[in-house]
Amino acid sequence: MSGVACVWVEAFAAAAAERAEPALREQPMAVVTGAPPATRIVEVNATARERSVRAGIPEAEAVARCPELIRRPTSPTSVDAARRALLDACYGVSPRLEDVAPGLVYIDLAGLGRLIGSGAAVADRLQRAARAVGLPARVGVAGTRAAARIAARAGLGVVPAGDEARALAPVPISALEWSEEIVTALARWGVATLGELAALPRSGLAARLGAAGLAAHDLARGAEDRAPWRSWTPPPFWEEAQELDWELHELAPLMNVLGRVVERLTARLSAAHLVADALEVRLALTGGAHHARTLVLACPMDAPRPLLTLLEHDLAARPPVGPVTAVSVQATAIPRRAVAGTLGRMAPPAERDLATVLARLVTLVGTDAVGAVALADSHRPDAFVAARLETETAPVSDEVAGDSVLALRRLRPRRRVSVAVDAERRPVIVGGALAHEARVLGCAGPWRVSGEWWDADAWGRDEWDVALSDGAVCRLARDLRSDVWYLDGVYD
């Protein structure tokens, strides 16, 4: 399959405001700019358009037409975040994108046929991906970028490659945006559809309208693209931000705002098949100061609730020093790795359950003390360090999985025992932590291990594996510095 898909979001500034405040979707809302009393409407949502509110009119006229109209000031931060969210959603479908304008993205369909299916299946996938990040998008598929753009705006869906001119002919001129010169000329000539515009002589359009006329003629025909493809490259970090209309002095309302920001960020990561490896929170404070915190996650995740819990406990322990006026959350993203299961083995825990447990552990012991256990570069028993938790499970060999293998169950904490030895310092009777004294029927050892002789924490011990008269097989350890015996483990 070849061709181009166009993803278009109508009234993008209004859609960005609705993405930041989802409750606005059910109410008439307009984005305004300028200083009173000269404020004007920039864009409106679908509910406001049904009430005859249009972009470009004064705010006072808009309120007169729709008294319940909700106004929001233009927010470059929200528009920029929504623009990146749309690109992230499309990037989860195809890595070859072209970022044309806010709310307008082209996707190269080459190679997607085997992965997704027909052009209609690709369009459906793109629509669902855009909806997942909070943006209502229309998708058009055609052989050229111009035809795909018209198909998206006019709701044509899939236009067969090579048949663009016939499919676009019924589309009215008013469905597209034109310069004032083109609109005036076409209205004077009585041209109402793209088919009528495509039927005009090309030489006449060039003589009367110049390059703009030729570009309009090419657009009406859905002609081949002459401009080079400018591929979009995803950023090394992913960020969501929100400006506030008022100052926040307490943690509870701040967490409400952070909750919406984190939900939008994790939706973008999920759409692009990524997970967050670290989070950086930046709070703008009154007076120009900033409060910044970085959280390195014990397990990469994209679940919003555990991430929000981590942020809440971190901010409660280290609150900002002043009122908050803006919020920004940035994620260091890594690819999500699929882990194949193994027949006959227990499935690993769900990621959301693991994330919830990690969030609770961080609350109890702190971020630095949560992770996976990794062996340290030392011969000292129980020497380990905390490492980043990996969700992959290591394969189990047949030998380890067999029933004939003897496993040592280490006892932590170790139990102190009394041991009687013979003339060769070999254990013969064990008592103390056991229910009764037991004779040693057989033993192997000693295995002497020691280390860090250069430090005050130097250590040394002898280890013995012993078979006792009560049937137990266990491991004993003798501390060489204190001459104390311990029951270190039991063989199962």
Domain containing residue 125: CATH number: 3.40.1170.60
Q: Is 29 inside any structural domain?
A: yes
31 and 153 housed in the same domain: yes
Contact 463, 447 (CB under 8 A): yes
- 309 domain residue, yes or no: yes
Tell me how many degrees the CA angle 82-13-4 measures, rounded to the nearest 5: 60
Domain total in the chain: 4
> Going residue by residue through the chain (492 aa), what tens digit of pLDDT does each one get?
678 999 999 999 999 999 988 888 889 999 999 888 789 999 999 999 999 999 989 999 999 999 999 999 998 888 998 998 999 899 888 889 999 999 999 999 988 888 888 889 999 999 999 999 899 999 999 988 888 999 998 888 898 887 888 888 888 888 888 888 888 888 889 989 988 888 889 888 888 888 888 888 888 888 777 788 888 887 777 888 888 888 888 888 999 999 999 999 998 888 888 888 888 999 999 888 899 988 888 778 888 888 888 888 888 888 888 899 999 999 988 887 665 555 656 556 566 566 667 777 777 777 667 777 777 766 677 777 767 665 554 444 444 444 556 778 887 788 888 888 888 888 888 886 555 788 888 888 888 888 776 766 677 888 888 888 888 888 888 888 888 888 888 887
- What predicted TM-score, i.e. pTM, was given to this entire model? 0.63
Summary count for the chain: helices (H), strands (E) = 15, 19
Point out the domain boundary residue: 335, 368, 383.
Answer: 335
Contact call for residues 327 and 256 (beta carbons, < 8 A): no
β-pairing, 40-44 vs 70-73, is unpaired
Question: 202 and 120 in one domain?
Answer: no
Range of the domain at 18: 4-162
d(CA 376, CA 387): 10
